[in-house]
Chains A and B, each alone.
Chain A
């Protein structure tokens, strides 16, 4: 689960700043939009292009727009774009196009010619990312950092992708431009699922504004017997898993369920030990992450990437492990948190 904790560190100028990375993503998406428009055999050429263009705009013009017309107006046009994006996807107007697919013989032949060098760029991505994150993160060129200090891993990953692309260019006979064009096949097969994580972050924001967490706490309070330790543990663990399934993200469920159940009833009521309580509670939420299509980038995107016929198959494979671990977590928590 990729976590983003915003540290209140001062903004230092950086070459690979988060704004520049967004611009890069924006240009990538824009290039795919042009490619989509050029694809004469595409059954839903214009609506698919519109879908990605609305998405790419947020990356290309978002920061610029805030600087020019201010936050409120920018957030409003982004909000309108998001609704149109959802409508386009909801009405089935976003689809795969047509792509050049090499035959298996061609692929075998080229794999044989290039040999194990084909692995190098793929392996370089993690290696460069880790080296940059751990050792080169602080590089400073006359007052400008190379990597965004608040988004070190992401900036390192971006550099790693660029480096791997250049190495791939050297070993294959394909150019970086061709590579970006080829990635349209992958992006299209992921489709709307690529946007779901951001949409869920949005829903989480609305839930906070609407005080949904307080309402959940009220309900829990109604149905709970504060003396039954085991049921409290079950309620907390299962509640974490279920609410995570709805929100698609254990981080969103954690504060609500922990403030609603764990802190008042277990920590204050039964003197439970906080460290194992929260650690196992969060892991119970992860059990929910494994079982929900809302965790799109873990469960739905891979199904698309792997061309699975059933887009819920990854979830189905994960369910037995998730349920087993949820049960184990409940007994583990019950066994370790009470001190008396």
Chain B
């Protein structure tokens, strides 16, 4: 048996520990990189160059910054308010129905390769979350911050889950090509991207079922949460208003 070399794993340990101790993630990741390099005796200037090279070659990850000016100006002129008021005029629009509908549309469009059709910056913040909040406010009146956060977080989760489990069905998507290239490199022949895409469908359907089931229960959860907060407020009020007004 060959000797087990665990030194390259120090970085993973640093990441896990850094998170457990709640250090800033940028610091944790940089430290993990530096310590891994040190543990495997990498030349420091080479390590610096590796840092720089990978950072530069992944600059396209920052492209979402380009969307922000459009969203910022539209919000400055009331986009979120408009979205809320628009939903207020639709009868039967509930938070769960809006999120559920979005989930289905997002997952199916991702399966067709239309990934850039939506996203956290371009749809969730300016449109989906305000609509989901508007529908809830329609039913329950002014929402407490806690409930608002819960609905917003669910909106963000809908976008993530729908796009993740839809995208691998689309055979020209990077993940599918990555898997295909990996199999070919490892000498496993006879698999086409189409096969991989087809095998993504069962999980995609399960994701739809599981998440729509959770959304169906969201409405009751919102009601309970609001009732709980109102009751607490009422108790606090009666406690403070014992003195005659």
Contact mask for chain B residues 6-22; partner A; CB cutoff 8 A; 1 contact, 0 none: 11110110011001000
Is there an interface contact between B82 and A119, defined as CB atoms closer than 8 Å?
yes
Contact mask for chain B residues 162-190; partner A; CB cutoff 8 A; 1 contact, 0 none: 01110110000111011100110010100
Residues from chain B with Cβ under 8 Å of A156 in the complex = 116
Contact mask for chain B residues 181-201; partner A; CB cutoff 8 A; 1 contact, 0 none: 011001010010001111110
Shortest Cβ distance from B179 into chain A, in angstroms? 4
Tell yes or no: B231 within 8 A of A by CB: no
Residues from chain B with Cβ under 8 Å of A125 in the complex = 67, 70, 122
Pick the interface stretch among B73-81, B222-230, B237-245.
Answer: B73-81
Q: A1-B167, A86-B30 are in contact. List 8 more A-B contacts (CB 8 A).
A: A75-B50, A79-B55, A114-B77, A195-B26, A203-B11, A278-B179, A301-B121, A302-B124
Is there an interface contact between B82 and A210, defined as CB atoms closer than 8 Å?
no
Is there an interface contact between A201 and B55, defined as CB atoms closer than 8 Å?
yes
> 8 Å CB contacts to B: which residues of A248-271?
250-251, 254-255, 258-259, 263, 267
Is there an interface contact between B11 and A212, defined as CB atoms closer than 8 Å?
yes
Shortest Cβ distance from A242 into chain B, in angstroms? 10
> 8 Å CB contacts to B: which residues of A21-45?
21-22, 24-25, 28-29
Is there an interface contact between B71 and A186, defined as CB atoms closer than 8 Å?
yes
Is there an interface contact between A122 and B71, defined as CB atoms closer than 8 Å?
yes
Partner of A209, one of B42, B52, B71, B179: B42
Is there an interface contact between A212 and B116, defined as CB atoms closer than 8 Å?
no
Residues from chain A with Cβ under 8 Å of B72 in the complex = 179-180, 182-183, 185-186
- Secondary structure class of chain A's binding surface, majority of residues: helix
> 8 Å CB contacts to A: which residues of B117-134?
117-118, 120-127, 129
Residues from chain B with Cβ under 8 Å of A118 in the complex = 74, 77-79, 82
* Chain A residue at minimum C-beta to C-beta distance from B192: A275
6 CB-based A-B contacts, threshold 8 Å: A5-B177, A81-B52, A172-B77, A199-B25, A215-B6, A308-B152
> 8 Å CB contacts to A: which residues of B34-85?
34, 36-37, 39-40, 42, 45, 47-83, 85
Q: Please measure, in the bound complex, the distance between the C-alpha atom of A129 and the C-alpha atom of B15, giving whole angstroms.
A: 37
Partner of B207, one of A153, A179, A303, A321: A321
Tell yes or no: B234 within 8 A of A by CB: no
Is there an interface contact between A308 and B149, defined as CB atoms closer than 8 Å?
yes
Residues from chain A with Cβ under 8 Å of B173 in the complex = 3
Is there an interface contact between B60 and A4, defined as CB atoms closer than 8 Å?
yes
Contact mask for chain A residues 130-161; partner B; CB cutoff 8 A; 1 contact, 0 none: 10010000000000000000010110111001
Tell yes or no: A198 within 8 A of B by CB: yes
Residues from chain A with Cβ under 8 Å of B15 in the complex = 203, 246, 294
Is there an interface contact between B50 and A158, defined as CB atoms closer than 8 Å?
no
Is there an interface contact between B153 and A172, defined as CB atoms closer than 8 Å?
no
Tell yes or no: A178 within 8 A of B by CB: yes
Residues from chain A with Cβ under 8 Å of B207 in the complex = 321, 325
Tell yes or no: B145 within 8 A of A by CB: yes
Is there an interface contact between A279 and B50, defined as CB atoms closer than 8 Å?
no
Residues from chain A with Cβ under 8 Å of B202 in the complex = 280, 332, 336
Shortest Cβ distance from B60 into chain A, in angstroms? 6
Tell yes or no: B104 within 8 A of A by CB: no
Shortest Cβ distance from A19 into chain B, in angstroms? 10
Shortest Cβ distance from A192 into chain B, in angstroms? 5
Tell yes or no: A228 within 8 A of B by CB: no
Is there an interface contact between A202 and B73, defined as CB atoms closer than 8 Å?
no
Contact mask for chain A residues 301-340; partner B; CB cutoff 8 A; 1 contact, 0 none: 1110111111001101110110011001100100010000
Residues from chain B with Cβ under 8 Å of A282 in the complex = 168, 175, 179
Is there an interface contact between B116 and A164, defined as CB atoms closer than 8 Å?
no
Q: Please measure, in the bound complex, the distance between the C-alpha atom of A116 and the C-alpha atom of B127, giving whole angstroms.
A: 12
* Chain A residue at minimum C-beta to C-beta distance from B59: A22
> 8 Å CB contacts to B: which residues of A64-107?
71-72, 74-83, 85-87, 89-90, 92, 102, 104, 106-107
Tell yes or no: B156 within 8 A of A by CB: yes
Q: In this complex, which of B4, B54, B57 has the most chain A Cβ atoms within 10 angstroms of its Cβ?
A: B54
Tell yes or no: A225 within 8 A of B by CB: no
